[in-house]
Amino acid sequence: MLLVGPAAMSALPVIGSSNATRTRNTRLAPAVLKPGDTVGLITPAGALNEEDAILTTREVFEKLGFRVKEGAHIRERYGNLAGKDEQRVADIHAMFLDGEIKAIVCIRGGNGASRLLDKLDYELIARHPKVLLGYSDVTALLMAFYAKSGLISFHGAVGTSTWSHTLADAFKRQFYQNELSHFENPPAVADNFIRYNDRIRTLHPGVAEGVLLGGNLTLLSGLCGSPYLPDFKGAILFLEEVDEDTARLDRMFCQLKNAGILADVKGIIFGNCTNCKPAHGYGSLTLDQLLEDYIKPLHVPAYTGARIGHINNQFILPIGVRVRMDADKGTIDLLEKALH
């Protein structure tokens, strides 16, 4: 596959704004960031409940060495959404059009990003490839941008995440140094005789290579059948979820299976399913049973427990970059750089 920078955009096929689909071998790599660049803040999904969400996000990115520019509508509210669809779309378009802005950070996830997908100008986005960082509901944008324009974007912490020194260092390694990162859960600490936290569990052994795609299970299943999911043939799929009844998880896994996505992938990494449990206790399927039913029969390398999801110090994963996963060791290695 070819990583394409802005200078080579004239060589790309013409992409329409409403019904564009990327060619299979074309991807757009954003530019490496440097201290002094400007980061734009958007709220493409849920509304903010307090001004501190903006203030702390600004503080994080200013401390990382950036100048910060706020989207015009980040304080808007329309029900539970951060403004009407047109306002949130306008902020996204403005950030991609603004030549000063080098990266776009979502302040939070929430709900509502999928409502924007048929309103976005993917030709505009393809002409101005930039870093986009977010997760959870932002999965809708990460998938659609890759499917429709080939843009490599990043599944990772939002502005309101808890930014530790560990996370800040990982951010610098990815966006300043453009490293071929190695992702592995941190070593066990304290005086425990065995590991109790950050445990990985191999569902099916083996090593696989492919393009990394994925995100929030609810969002991925909700996009099935739409033009906003990329081709998963030969991909490494990663998944995460939060606060879900396992009966609903069963339907989501079933949707991915029936859509042919699970059969297409070469490997699966299930991160964290935070606060996921049966709503009715005894008599409901457990998450472990769902993984046994849907993942193990695929006979592709698969493991669970990676630091992906609604947790602190989650991995920053580039969407659309080739990786190698090892299901026995619980590791992910980038095989190519995400930025240019």
- The amino acid sitting at 105 is V
Q: Catalytic site residues?
A: 136, 240, 310
Nearest Cα residue to 262 out of 252, 273, 272: 252
Q: Measured between alpha carbons, how far is 268 from 33 in angstroms, rounded to an integer?
A: 30
- Tokens representing 150 are 């080939």
* Cβ neighbours, 10 Å, residue 229: 21
For 209, list phi and psi in degrees, rounded to 5: -125, 145
The dihedral sign for the CA sequence 313, 317, 323, 328: positive
Measure CA of the first residue to CA of the last residue in the chain; give whole Å.
14
Q: What stretch of H or E contains 169?
A: helix 165-175
- CB burial of residue 179 (10 Å; 0-12, 13-18, 19+): middle
Q: How many CB atoms lie within 10 A of CB 339?
A: 22
Nearest to 160 by CA among 64, 60, 82, 243: 60
Task: Give the residues across from 154 on adjacent strands.
Answer: 133, 318
Taking the CA atoms of the chain, what radius of gyration do you get in angstroms?
19
